[in-house]
Amino acid sequence: MPTRRSLLDRLLKHLVPRPVAEFAPDPREIDSGLWVLDRQICFTGGLRLPTRATIVRLGSGGLVVIAPPPVLGSSTLEALDSFGTVEHVVVPNTFHYVYAAEFMARYPDADLFVAPGLSERVPELPPALELAASAPEVWAGELEIAVLGPVRGISEVVFFHLPSGTLVLTDLAFNTTDFERFLDRLIARLAGLPAGFAPGRTSRRLLLRDHALASRCLTRVSQWPIQRIIMAHGEIIERDAKAQFLVAFAAYVDDGELLQ
């Protein structure tokens, strides 16, 4: 029986962002066993937005790539391969699947994990394992997860890298404070992207629309000992990370749970 695609899915299919070829830095180390890979993507209408993949090296030496990026240039692959073997590729939410098939073609022996409901909604994805409430056993003690959603088919998986105290978000929050071009800043603000660390308009209307569901997830996240926040779009937070998280999501975090 054919999968029913939502209007949002049909629109997204025609709004695939184009990677900016001239912006292709190699991965940079953030902490021991933790790297980010920065890219820029250009949307229809002209908005150029920073985007980021997060790379975690497990104790086994295997790599987890969160939000597979557009791969531009062989040096990126050489850098990744020098860190370890890519064993797990993660599509963490509803929107960051665009480059997954290309990335998996380069690492066909890796396991693909996806946010809940994504394989059903996007059947052209390679075969994948759906993430559940608990992290896969192979990540135990190194990566924790919390699942937000699905809410009307929209979901996001939040990650916590225990060794470094790093929270990894995708589209749940943005921190787009630094734009090279004035046009990008203007379009971003018109599109509802915040001027600092906060959920954007799309996050509030889709991921956070079920307040009770969002509260359960974000209250759990708030109990982690957050020292740093990496998000897919915007500047990494290195100072007062947990305090900034609590301010950004104050409407969803249960203070009573925090006091226990």
In a domain, 199, yes or no: yes
In a domain, 101, yes or no: yes
CA separation (Å) from 193 to 63, 147, 214, 257? Answer: 31, 22, 19, 29
| Total tally of structural domains belonging to the chain | 1
In a domain, 260, yes or no: no
pLDDT at 183: 61
Please classify residue 8 by burial: count the beta carbons closer than 10 Å to its beta carbon, then call 0-12 exposed, 13-18 middle and 19+ buried.
middle
In a domain, 203, yes or no: yes
Compute the distance between CA of residue 110 and CA of residue 129 in angstroms, rounded to an integer.
Answer: 11
In a domain, 2, yes or no: no
**Beta strands 129-130; 28-31: pairing state:** unpaired
pLDDT at 184: 59
pLDDT at 155: 94
| Residue 107 belongs to domain with CATH number | 3.60.15.10
- Is the previous residue joined to 69 through a cis bond, with omega within 30 degrees of 0? no
pLDDT at 72: 72
pLDDT at 196: 84
Residue 36 identity: V
Q: What is the pTM of this model?
A: 0.89
145: helix, coil or strand?
A: strand
pLDDT at 3: 43
Please classify residue 43 by burial: count the beta carbons closer than 10 Å to its beta carbon, then call 0-12 exposed, 13-18 middle and 19+ buried.
middle
Contact 164, 31 (CB under 8 A): yes
In a domain, 104, yes or no: yes
Q: For the chain, which ranges sit under pLDDT 70? A: 1-16, 44-47, 177, 179-194, 256-260
In a domain, 15, yes or no: yes
Please classify residue 2 by burial: count the beta carbons closer than 10 Å to its beta carbon, then call 0-12 exposed, 13-18 middle and 19+ buried.
exposed
pLDDT at 121: 85
In a domain, 256, yes or no: no
Domain residues for 75?
7-251
